[in-house]
Structures are given as structure tokens and as C-alpha cells.
Amino acid sequence: MADAGRSGQSWQRTFKGLPEETYAMRCWTRERVRHANAPQVAHEMFLVVLACSPEAIEITLSTADTRVRITVTGSCELSLKHVHGPGRRIIRALTAGLFGTTTNGHGLWAELAKE
């Protein structure tokens, strides 16, 4: 498991675009980064991307200095209604507003500060 204080660690995994994958994704996230909010943030982001029914969803977890960055992407462009749904409030609250959409519009990123 990585401490958010260590720099330069990154993990990436592709999950099936199915609701049943959310539990495995949360466990995978929890095993890699020591941040209480990381699994919940990744879960909410996964659900946003899942809403557009992609075949697969890719998760990237990265640590640098005192930050943890989570990126969740799918194969289809997210609609405005998906990005601005109820999960956004949870993500915003847990990340202090450090989140957004990926440059291609197919996913979300969020940054968490060390606890």
C-alpha cells in the first residue's frame, strides 16, 4: 500500500463497464492508496462514467508528494447530465473542489491532499 507522502507511484487497471465491478474497484483502490476518501471518490467517479454504458472503465491511481490523483475514464463521451449529477456534490466535498473532466470528455479526474 502506498502512503500519499511517497512520490512517483502509479497503478492502472481496467474494469468491465458493469455495476458489479464497483466493489472490486473500491477494494483495489483501498489496497493501493492510504487515503480514507479515495475509495468513495473513485466509486462516485466510476458511477458517473458507468452511466454512459462503456464496455470498460479504466482507473488510474497516482501519488506524488502529498497528493493522490484518481482518473476514471470510459470509451464514450460523458454527457452534461452525467457530469453534473448527484455524485458531483460528493466528489466536490471529498476533494475540496479539485476535480474535473478529462481533456477528451470521456472521464473524470480528482485530486486528494494527504490527510
Residue 2: partners with Cβ closer than 8 Å, 6 or more residues away? 9, 32, 33, 34, 63
Amino acid at 34: R
**Averaged pLDDT for residues 51-59:** 95
Contact 70, 57 (CB under 8 A): no
Q: Note the pTM of the prediction, 2 decimals.
A: 0.89
Contact 60, 102 (CB under 8 A): no
4-51 pLDDT tens trace? 545 579 999 999 999 999 999 999 999 999 899 999 999 999 999 999
Within its chain, how far is the Cα of 47 from the centroid? 10
Within its chain, how far is the Cα of 5 from the centroid? 19
Q: What domains appear along the chain, each with residue ranges and CATH number?
A: 9-113 (3.30.565.10)
